[in-house]
Chains A and B, each alone.
Chain A
Amino acid sequence: MSTPVATRPFAVAGVARAARVRRYGLWLAAAVVLLLLPQSVRTGTAIAVMNQMGIAVIFALSFNMLLGQGGMLSFGHAVYFGLGGFIAAHVLNMAGRGAIYLPVPLLPLVGGLGGLAFAALFGSFSTRRAGTVFSMISLGVAELMAASSLIFDKFFGGEEGITTNRSKAPLLLGLEFTRDRQVYYLIAFWLFVATLAMYAFSRTPVGRMANAVRDNPERAEFVGYSQHRVRFVSFCAAGFFAGIAGGLFAVNYEILTAENMGLNASGAVLLMAYIGGIGAFVGPILGAVVFTFLQSMLSDYTGMWLLYLGILFLATVLFVPMGLAGLLMLHAPVWRARRVGRLLGPYVLTGALGFVAAVGIIGLLEMVHFVAAGRTGTRRLFWLVVAPRTLMPWLGFAALVVAGAVGVRWTGPRAVAAFAEASRPGRP
């Protein structure tokens, strides 16, 4: 063991410094964007959607501490979001009555501690095993909480849930939270802090060991780490950040119901993380933003938005299992080699044909929905007014589906080949 300590050459150190500057620059840019974002929108709806997105991003990132980084597929992560939220709501009500002193900006921390406490309780046994056993226990805990919400209706507020009022809490530094815009800055602050903290966690010894236990729990035990303990620490951290998101939810919406910790909420966060990509840190951020955006946009236009999100999820699992972030990262070498231009043609062509097929599918589904709802007459679909109880629109949309699908089958392999060609290293 007399080999000298490896010192990396100065050139490498210079590259490392440049990378560090880039990384800090990225965080700084993110902070500036978060600060300026509300200036760019006029409507209150947009602010409301952004608030929803911020909460979803924290929640999805916390979920990925389990799935992407720790290899734990939880079907009940909303339990910690919801419990954090309920605890925060009760504490906010106590603060409003003057029973305790707690200003609104600190409330997410209360939610986080609540989430942490319950994660420690349920995690102590659920993290003993990985894989299917862990998933089943998480499902069991979610069911347990659903049952508890009916039993402990003083705490969970029964069907109406627990309402609260953020304007009654004491002020900190004179900060008021009467308007959505003010709440936005509170969410943005916690979003930034929580994201930074979760990123930092992935770069700590236990964060790295979470990856190791995900890859090979047995080997982790033979380098000195208890796989149970490593999973437990990740689980507690994930519960803590989910609780922070829940606390922000309580501040933002001033109401929590049992639905917020139900299986639907747990499923939604799984969809967000997966659509965004669980293999990259930014994946769940992208996923949460896209999911929330689609959710709020689609629900204005169609009663079937959940179906579309489900289809999006299925398409991701089937065709892009690495998610949006993975897809983007796949193109990093092409981008560095300045060959994106070569992909533009094949991608636009395949994309356009895919869009045609999607329009056809949506048209058919919307007409099915229309007829199944027992409605008659006409409705607007895209740029057309169609009569779903006549044959023509069915034939038309079916033709679009067939044309689009055949086209994608035809051009898709070429787009893939173009990608392979462009990402080949060196001069072509």
Chain B
Amino acid sequence: MTPAIELSDVRKSFGATPIIRGVSLAIEAGTRQALIGPNGAGKSTLFNLITGKYPVTSGRIRVKGAAVTDLAPYEINRRGLARSFQVTNIFTRMSVFENIRCAVLWSAGYRYSFWHRISAARAVNARAETVLEQLNLTARRDVPAGVLSYAEQRALEIGITIAGGADVILLDEPTAGMSRSETEHVVGLIRQITAGKTLLMVEHDMSVVFDLADRIAVLVYGEVIAHDTPERIRANAAVQEAYLGVPQGVA
């Protein structure tokens, strides 16, 4: 089966500094996987390479079998890959509903249309309402996104990512800065919205990682040192050393 995401010897340098130093990784379609690693390992950079935000220095990236290496973010998104951001990245002056609706438009085929009334786009509006319900944000429907609470903005961040119906989803630290109960809610949400889809997420909360992930990739100094099931990653000596400096149990 074609992997949802396939990296072949991907390298990225900023100036003379190599950040990603030859990553080859295949994410099987239909699995939930986590990308973990110490701070500065290059996790977000790897996301930015996969989603087209940064160009690679060398190497090849395929999404669902199609080469996307030098494509723009919007072209990669149109192939069914969507991402969220570590720092909340929403349309602050637009209403919560408008935020979600904008994320639905392209996938619903409206492109750059100025000949459709958006209020008459029933499927788009219905889809946006459905996503709002999933996020528990229906009560905040008409509020400008910029005035939402932090946790609500994080939920909206995920909502914008999944609203277009992409089947390959990249989440960058979806639970960062959240309380225990908020984290539990988001984990439930992620489980629900990624059912039957491919998920790759960067996450620091190990309980979330071991709760959700079928497989875990460990990135250290720009290299994948392990890519395996949670049990084997837990037992992996190299991973323990990278995380704690001493051979101990992870988390």
Please determine whether B118 and A208 come into contact, CB atoms closer than 8 angstroms. Answer: yes
Q: Would you give the 0/1 interface string for A217-247, flagging 1 where the beta carbon is closer than 8 Å to chain B?
A: 0111111111001100100010000000000
A201 at the interface (CB under 8 A from B): yes
- Given A215-B93, A219-B90: A209 in contact with B82 (beta carbons within 8 A): no
* B85 cross-chain contacts in A, Cβ below 8 A: 219
B138 to chain A, nearest CB (A): 8
B105 touches which of A203, A205, A226, A237 (Cβ 8 Å): A205
* A230 cross-chain contacts in B, Cβ below 8 A: 112
Please determine whether B82 and A205 come into contact, CB atoms closer than 8 angstroms. Answer: no
Please determine whether A223 and B129 come into contact, CB atoms closer than 8 angstroms. Answer: no
Q: Would you give the 0/1 interface string for A193-218, flagging 1 where the beta carbon is closer than 8 Å to chain B?
A: 00000001101111111011011101
- Given A215-B91, A218-B89: A223 in contact with B102 (beta carbons within 8 A): yes
Q: How far is the CA of A206 from the CA of B91 in the complex (A)?
A: 15
Please determine whether A206 and B130 come into contact, CB atoms closer than 8 angstroms. Answer: no
B134 to chain A, nearest CB (A): 6
A6 at the interface (CB under 8 A from B): yes
* B114 cross-chain contacts in A, Cβ below 8 A: 201, 204-207, 233, 237
Task: Name the residue on B nearest A197 (C-beta).
Answer: B114
Please determine whether A226 and B74 come into contact, CB atoms closer than 8 angstroms. Answer: yes
Q: Would you give the 0/1 interface string for B20-44, flagging 1 where the beta carbon is closer than 8 Å to chain A?
A: 0000000000000000000000000
Interface residues on B, range: 35 or more
- Given A6-B133, A204-B113, A209-B105: A221 in contact with B73 (beta carbons within 8 A): yes
B106 touches which of A6, A8, A225 (Cβ 8 Å): A225
A208 touches which of B77, B101, B129 (Cβ 8 Å): B101
Q: How far is the CA of A237 from the CA of B116 in the complex (A)?
A: 15
Please determine whether B112 and A222 come into contact, CB atoms closer than 8 angstroms. Answer: no
- Given A211-B94, A216-B90: A205 in contact with B133 (beta carbons within 8 A): no
A205 touches which of B53, B94, B113, B195 (Cβ 8 Å): B113
Q: How far is the CA of A225 from the CA of B91 in the complex (A)?
A: 14
Q: Would you give the 0/1 interface string for A306-324, flagging 1 where the beta carbon is closer than 8 Å to chain B?
A: 0000000000000000000
B15 to chain A, nearest CB (A): 22
Interface residues on A, range: 20 to 34
A5 at the interface (CB under 8 A from B): yes
A375 to chain B, nearest CB (A): 51
Please determine whether A220 and B112 come into contact, CB atoms closer than 8 angstroms. Answer: no
A3 at the interface (CB under 8 A from B): yes
Q: Which of B73, B111, B132 has the most CB of A within 10 A?
A: B73
* A214 cross-chain contacts in B, Cβ below 8 A: 93
B156 to chain A, nearest CB (A): 11
Q: 8 Å CB contacts to A: which residues of B74-109?
A: 74, 77-78, 82-83, 85, 89-94, 98, 101-103, 105-107
B117 touches which of A5, A204, A218 (Cβ 8 Å): A204
**Chain A interface SS verdict (over half):** helix
Q: 8 Å CB contacts to A: which residues of B156-202?
A: 160, 163-164, 195
Please count the residue pairs between chain A and chain B whose beta carbons lie under 8 angstroms apart in the complex: 118
B102 touches which of A5, A208, A218 (Cβ 8 Å): A208
Q: Would you give the 0/1 interface string for A3-16, flagging 1 where the beta carbon is closer than 8 Å to chain B?
A: 10110100000000
Please determine whether B134 and A203 come into contact, CB atoms closer than 8 angstroms. Answer: no
Q: 8 Å CB contacts to A: which residues of B116-140?
A: 116-119, 121, 126, 129-130, 132-134, 138
* B74 cross-chain contacts in A, Cβ below 8 A: 220-226
* B138 cross-chain contacts in A, Cβ below 8 A: 6
B150 at the interface (CB under 8 A from A): no
B115 at the interface (CB under 8 A from A): yes
B201 to chain A, nearest CB (A): 16
A224 touches which of B107, B116, B117, B132 (Cβ 8 Å): B107
B72 at the interface (CB under 8 A from A): yes
Q: Which of B85, B93, B126, B132 has the most CB of A within 10 A?
A: B93
* B78 cross-chain contacts in A, Cβ below 8 A: 224
B126 touches which of A1, A6, A216 (Cβ 8 Å): A6
Q: How far is the CA of A229 from the CA of B75 in the complex (A)?
A: 13
Please determine whether B133 and A206 come into contact, CB atoms closer than 8 angstroms. Answer: no
Please determine whether B91 and A212 come into contact, CB atoms closer than 8 angstroms. Answer: yes
Please determine whether B72 and A5 come into contact, CB atoms closer than 8 angstroms. Answer: no
* A229 cross-chain contacts in B, Cβ below 8 A: 112
B110 to chain A, nearest CB (A): 4
Q: Which of A1, A203, A208, A223 has the most CB of B within 10 A?
A: A223
* B73 cross-chain contacts in A, Cβ below 8 A: 218, 221-222
A326 to chain B, nearest CB (A): 13
* B72 cross-chain contacts in A, Cβ below 8 A: 221, 226
Q: How far is the CA of A225 from the CA of B113 in the complex (A)?
A: 12
B153 at the interface (CB under 8 A from A): no
Task: Name the residue on B nearest A214 (C-beta).
Answer: B93
- Given A208-B102, A212-B94, 7 more A-B residue pairs with CB atoms under 8 Å apart are A205-B118, A208-B105, A209-B112, A211-B102, A215-B90, A219-B85, A223-B82
Between A and B, 17 residue pairs with Cβ closer than 8 Å are A3-B130, A5-B130, A6-B129, A204-B115, A204-B117, A205-B105, A205-B110, A207-B118, A214-B93, A215-B93, A216-B90, A218-B53, A219-B89, A219-B90, A226-B72, A226-B74, A233-B112
Q: List the 9 closest A-B pairs by CB distance, nearest first.
A: A224-B106, A6-B129, A205-B110, A215-B91, A221-B73, A223-B103, A212-B102, A5-B126, A204-B114
